[in-house]
Amino acid sequence: MSLTATTRMSSRGQVVIPESIRQRLKLQPGTEFVVIAQDDIVLFKKLSPPKWEEFDSLVREARRQARLSRLTPRHVKRALITVRQQ
């Protein structure tokens, strides 16, 4: 079920999220968002840290891919040095 409300942007580019939406989504001060713009649409997606189970599966997959690619810690260190020098 969607909830609709209107708001207005200030001269400083700030937008107030209406209280009814903040309550429904349990948004707290300091909540971070990804902002996506396409044509005349602006979309805010609340950022939330991954659950440990999701993080563990990401680490397992990264390690699997590294093994398949024969990537070693030495390769990673060299890549980091290269990127940091740019």
Domain layout of the chain by residue ranges: 1-48, 52-85
pLDDT tens, residue by residue, 55-84: 888 889 999 999 999 999 899 899 999 999
Spell out the CATH class of 1-48.
mainly beta
pLDDT tens, residue by residue, 3-54: 888 999 999 999 999 999 999 999 999 999 999 999 999 999 999 887 888 8
pLDDT at 49: 82
- Contact yes or no for 26/17 (Cβ under 8 A): no
- Contact yes or no for 44/38 (Cβ under 8 A): no
pLDDT at 55: 85
**Tokens read off for 23:** 């309550």
pLDDT tier at 1 (50, 70, 90 boundaries)?
low
- pTM for the full predicted model: 0.54
